[in-house]
C-alpha cells in the first residue's frame, strides 16, 4: 500500500474562518486520502489559549476533538474547557506563543509544520517570523502580519515557497497566485484596479436597493463578510491592507502611510471613542441618510458608488468612486470582488478576476487550497 503524506499543522484563530477550515479539513478526509494526503491537526489556538496534541511527533487532535473545538468556540466558551478531553495539553495566554514556537522547532527538525493564521490579530507576526526561521511554512488569511513593517514583511516572505496567503486578498479568488504567475513570467504589471471589499460591495449594492446602511452592515456582519469590528471595513483599512499586500507583491517598498484612504465614518465614531456594540446599535444609524443621499445623487447621473482600490506607479489609494452602472466595477453585486490587472500582455483588455470576495466558506476553502499547495515540502 502506498504511504500517506502527512501535513502537520497548527491553526491560530478559531473564529468564523478558522472553524470553517476545520470543518473543510474533516469533510475532505476521503478526497485527500485518495490523493495520498492526510492533514494532521496538531494544535488549535484562540486569543487566550492553545490546545495541542500531547505528543506532536506521533499524535494529532482527532476529528471528534476538532468538532468539540468548534462547538466550544461557537458557544463562546474557552478552549481551556477541553483540557480533560483526549490526549492533549492546554496552554494559557503567556505560554501560548512559546509553545507554538516549541512545536515548530520540534517539527522543523522532522517532517515540517504549517502554521495557519486565521486570526485577525497583528500580534501573530512574531510567532510567524520565528516559525519561518525554524524552516516551517506559514499560511495566512490574516492580512495584518503582511502589512506590518517592511522588515517583518521581508522576514515573512524570505522563503517564498514556504508562505501562502491567497485568502488575504479576494478571499478564495486566485488573486495572489495569478499576480505571481504574471510577475514570474517577466510581464510588468502597470496598474491594478479593483473592488476588493466583500462588505463594501454588499453595502453599496444593498443601499442602492433602498436599504439603510445600518441594517445592511449588521447583515454583512452576520453573513461573515465583515472584519470582527466592521469599522475596519467601513474605514477603508481592510481594503488598504489588501492594497498594501498587492503593492508590496509588485515590489513597491511602501508602508500604510503611503496609501490614501477614504473612511465612511467620522473620527468621533472610531474604536477609541465607542465600542463596536454602540457603533452598531446607535452610531451607524446616524450615517444612513448621508450615504443614501450620495447613492441617490450618483444614480441621477446614471452611476453607482463603488469602493475602489487603485495601484498605479507610485500611486496607491482606496476610496469611493462614482462609476457608470455598466462598467466592470459598476455591475458588481453583493459580496463579489473584481480585480482588473493591466500589464504588457494585458494592455488593451485587462486580465479580470471576479467572484465571491468574502465569507467564511470561500475564505476557508482558499486557505485549505493554500495548505495543499505546499504539500511537496512535506515528506
Ligand atoms: N471573513 C472573510 O470573509 C474573510 C476573512 N479574512 C481574514 O480571516 C481572519 C479571520 O476572520 P474571522 O474568522 O472572521 O475572525 P473572527 O473574529 O471570527 O476570529 C478570529 C479568531 O482569532 C483569534 N485570535 C485573536 N487574536 C489571536 C492571537 N493573537 N493568536 C491566535 N488567535 C487569535 C480569536 O480568538 P477569540 O475566539 O479568543 O476571540 C478568534 O478565534 C481575519 O484576519 C480576516 O481578515 C480574509 C478573507 C475573507
Ligand atoms: N472583511 C473583508 C473580508 C475579506 O477580506 C471583506 O469584506 O472583504
pLDDT digits (tens, 9 = 90+) for 258-313: 999 999 999 999 999 999 999 999 999 999 999 999 999 999 999 999 999 999 99
Q: How confident is the model at residue 83 (pLDDT cuts 50, 70, 90)?
A: confident
Would you say the C-alpha torsion 42, 46, 47, 52 has a positive or negative sign? negative
Q: What is the pLDDT of residue 29?
A: 98
**Ligand 2 and 225: CB distance under 6 A:** yes
Phi, psi values for residue 208, rounded to 5°: -55, -35
CA dist 93 and 271 (Å) reads 24
191 is in an annotated binding site: no
Q: What is the pLDDT of residue 293?
A: 97
Choose the residue to mutate in 43, 75, 100, 119 for probing ligand 1, maximizing ligand atoms within 8 Å of C-beta: 119
The ipTM assigned to this model is 0.99
**Ligand 2 and 337: CB distance under 6 A:** no
Q: How confident is the model at residue 85 (pLDDT cuts 50, 70, 90)?
A: confident
Tell me how far the alpha carbon of residue 79 lies from the centroid of ligand 2, in angstroms. 26
Can you tell me the mean pLDDT for 158-166?
97
For residue 362, pLDDT over 90 is answered with yes
For residue 78, pLDDT over 90 is answered with no
Q: How many CB atoms lie within 10 A of CB 56?
A: 21
C-alpha cell at 167: 485568502
Ligand 1 atom with the smallest distance to the CA of 17 is 13
Q: What is the pLDDT of residue 55?
A: 94
Catalytic residue among 242, 260, 297, 325: 242
**Ligand 1 and 48: CB distance under 6 A:** yes
312 is in an annotated binding site: no
Ligand 2 atom with the smallest distance to the CA of 242 is 5
Q: Longest Cα pair distance anywhere in the chain, in angstroms?
A: 68
Tell me how far the alpha carbon of residue 14 lies from the centroid of ligand 2, in angstroms. 17
Tell me how far the alpha carbon of residue 116 lies from the centroid of ligand 1, in angstroms. 11
CA dist 118 and 372 (Å) reads 16
Can you tell me the mean pLDDT for 16-30?
98
Q: How confident is the model at residue 87 (pLDDT cuts 50, 70, 90)?
A: confident
For residue 97, pLDDT over 90 is answered with yes
| Stated pTM of the model | 0.97
99 is catalytic: no
The answer to whether the beta carbons of residues 104 and 131 sit under 8 Å apart is: yes
Ligand 1 atom with the smallest distance to the CA of 96 is 30
- For residue 134, how many C-alpha atoms fall within 13 Å in the half-sphere facing its CB? 25
Ligand 2 atom with the smallest distance to the CA of 196 is 8
For residue 1, pLDDT over 70 is answered with no
If you average pLDDT over every residue of the chain, what do you get?
Answer: 96
123 is in an annotated binding site: no
Amino acid at each position: 500500500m502506498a504511504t500517506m503524506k502527512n501535513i502537520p499543522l497548527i491553526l491560530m484563530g478559531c473564529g468564523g474562518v478558522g472553524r470553517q477550515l476545520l470543518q473543510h479539513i474533516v469533510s475532505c478526509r476521503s478526497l485527500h486520502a485518495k490523493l495520498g494526503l492526510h492533514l494532521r491537526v496538531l494544535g488549535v489556538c484562540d486569543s487566550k489559549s492553545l490546545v495541542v496534541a500531547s505528543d506532536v511527533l506521533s499524535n494529532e487532535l482527532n476529528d471528534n476533538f476538532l468538532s468539540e473545538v468548534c462547538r466550544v468556540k461557537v458557544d463562546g466558551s474557552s478552549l481551556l474547557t477541553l483540557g480533560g478531553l483526549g490526549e492533549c495539553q492546554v496552554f494559557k495566554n503567556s505560554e501560548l506563543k512559546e509553545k507554538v514556537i516549541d512545536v515548530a522547532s520540534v517539527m522543523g527538525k522532522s517532517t515540517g509544520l504549517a502554521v495557519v493564521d486565521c486570526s485577525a490579530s497583528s500580534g501573530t507576526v512574531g510567532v510567524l517570523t520565528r516559525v519561518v526561521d525554524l524552516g516551517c511554512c506559514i499560511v495566512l488569511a490574516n492580512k495584518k502580519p503582511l502589512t506590518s513593517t517592511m522588515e517583518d514583511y521581508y522576514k515573512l516572505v524570505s522563503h517564498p515557497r514556504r508562505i501562502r496567503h491567497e485568502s488575504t486578498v479576494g478571499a478564495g479568488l486566485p488573486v495572489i497566485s495569478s499576480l505571481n504567475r504574471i510577475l514570474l513570467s517577466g510581464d510588468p504589471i502597470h496598474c491594478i484596479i479593483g473592488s476588493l471589499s466583500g462588505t463594501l460591495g454588499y453595502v453599496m449594492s444593498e443601499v442602492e436597493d433602498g436599504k439603510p446602511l445600518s441594517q445592511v452592515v449588521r447583515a454583512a456582519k452576520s453573513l461573515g463578510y465583515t472584519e470582527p469590528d466592521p469599522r475596519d471595513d467601513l474605514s477603508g483599512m481592510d481594503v488598504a491592507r489588501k492594497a498594501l499586500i498587492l503593492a508590496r507583491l509588485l515590489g513597491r517598498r511602501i508602508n500604510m502611510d503611503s496609501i490614501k484612504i477614504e473612511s465612511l465614518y467620522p473620527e468621533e465614531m472610531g474604536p477609541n471613542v465607542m465600542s463596536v456594540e454602540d457603533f452598531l446599535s446607535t452610531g451607524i444609524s446616524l450615517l444612513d441618510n448621508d450615504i443614501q443621499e450620495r447613492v441617490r445623487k450618483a444614480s441621477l447621473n446614471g452611476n453607482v458608488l463603488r469602493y475602489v482600490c487603485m495601484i498605479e506607479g507610485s500611486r496607491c489609494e482606496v476610496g469611493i468612486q462614482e462609476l457608470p452602472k455598466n462598467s466592470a466595477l459598476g455591475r458588481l453585486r453583493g459580496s463579489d470582488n473584481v480585480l482588473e490587472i493591466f500589464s504588457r500582455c494585458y494592455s488593451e483588455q485587462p486580465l479580470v478576476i471576479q467572484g465571491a470576495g468574502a465569507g467564511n466558506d470561500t475564505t476557508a476553502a482558499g486557505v485549505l487550497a493554500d495548505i495543499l499547495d505546499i504539500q511537496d515540502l512535506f515528506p
